[in-house]
């Protein structure tokens, strides 16, 4: 294995040696900036091992996680890359799993991480939102995450009420976690160069929010944003037995103006609304 900062481990050279080319359908790009990789791993180490790495690729982050001695489960969907990683990290604290991370059941993660763990990864842009939503479901197993995402996705995740970026993901994540942009990553740090810049975000999930309440919150928020340009009183609410009248009554009791629009309502108000819906047994 070449030294960590050797030109021999540049993605372009490694891909050529392996006879591989980046998959356009999967949007594969490979981080080649060693300083960025070190900063990501340093942030993950603050949350502590063991680690679940999503999209290990050619091992830019995996090698640093392994060097630190933390046990790591590195998930890679690409069969060819998974084989390369297994060979590269044989005998280390890294276990390579060839799988679609979205298809792995929660029971499997609980078995592998009985004491919990930290997620780290450079996420494929096309799968960023589904993976973040999945991590919300797995928040008890993985209470912390350090993720590199498309810059615009992070802006949506961390958006505040009133702007066009503020939406369902903003509400969910603000209620469930403390999310903070850590640093920006230029597109030129990747091979091949993508069309967008990235941002690394740290996520620390809160404790004590039951799944049943989260499901009700998602139902309420999806309804509120279903007709984003219309007033909240026009939201579709099939989950309420009393329909629009009951919905407007709940909004008023929660201190939300039924004539307001969804993007003006802060996450805390949506959580209050979800608690009220749950207490009245109306959520579906």
Domains within the chain, CATH numbers bracketed: 7-205 (3.40.50.150), 211-279 (1.10.8.100)
Reading the block at residue 92, the tokens are 């280390």
Q: Of all residues in the chain, what percent carry a pLDDT higher than 90?
A: 83
Taking the C-alpha atoms of residue 215 and residue 195, their distance in angstroms, rounded to an integer, is 35
- Residue 149 is inside which H or E element, if any? strand 144-150
Confidence of residue 30 (pLDDT cuts 50, 70, 90): very high
76-94 tens-digit pLDDT: 999 999 999 999 999 999 9
CA-CA distances (angstroms) from residue 188 to 33, 99, 100? 9, 28, 27
Write down the pTM of the prediction: 0.91
Q: Is the pLDDT of residue 1 over 80?
A: no
Reading the block at residue 269, the tokens are 């108000």
Q: Is the pLDDT of residue 7 over 60?
A: no
| pLDDT score of 26 | 60
Which range, of 24-33, 77-86, 236-245, 267-276, averages the lowest pLDDT? 24-33
For residue 207, the Cα-to-chain-centroid distance in whole angstroms is: 17
């Amino acid at each position: 294995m070449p030294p960590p900062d050797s030109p021999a481990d540049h993605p372009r050279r490694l891909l050529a040696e392996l006879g591989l080319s980046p998959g356009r359908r999967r949007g594969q790009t490979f981080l080649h900036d060693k300083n960025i990789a070190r900063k990501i791993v340093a942030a993950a180490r603050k949350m502590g091992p063991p680690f679940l790495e999503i999209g290990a690729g050619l091992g830019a982050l995996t090698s640093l996680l392994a060097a630190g001695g933390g046990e790591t489960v590195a998930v890679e969907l690409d069969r060819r890359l998974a084989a390369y990683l297994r060979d590269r990290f044989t005998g280390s604290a890294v276990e390579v799993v060839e799988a679609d991370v979205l298809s792995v059941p929660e029971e499997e993660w609980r078995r592998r991480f009985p004491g919990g763990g930290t997620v780290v990864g450079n996420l494929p842009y096309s799968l960023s939102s589904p993976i973040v939503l999945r991590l919300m479901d797995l928040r008890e197993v993985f209470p912390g995450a350090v993720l590199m995402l498309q810059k615009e996705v992070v802006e949506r995740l961390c958006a505040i009420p009133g702007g066009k970026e503020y939406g369902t993901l903003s509400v969910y994540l603000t209620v469930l976690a403390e999310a903070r942009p850590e640093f920006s990553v230029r597109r030129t740090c990747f091979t091949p160069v993508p069309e967008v810049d990235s941002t690394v975000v740290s996520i620390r999930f809160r404790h004590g929010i039951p799944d049943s309440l989260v499901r009700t919150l998602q139902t309420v928020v999806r309804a509120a944003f279903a007709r984003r340009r219309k007033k909240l009183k026009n939201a579709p609410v099939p989950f309420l037995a009393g329909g629009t009248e009951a919905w407007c009554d709940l909004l008023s009791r929660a201190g939300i103006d039924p004539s307001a629009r969804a993007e003006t309502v802060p996450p805390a108000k949506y959580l209050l609304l979800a608690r009220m819906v749950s207490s009245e047994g109306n959520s579906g």
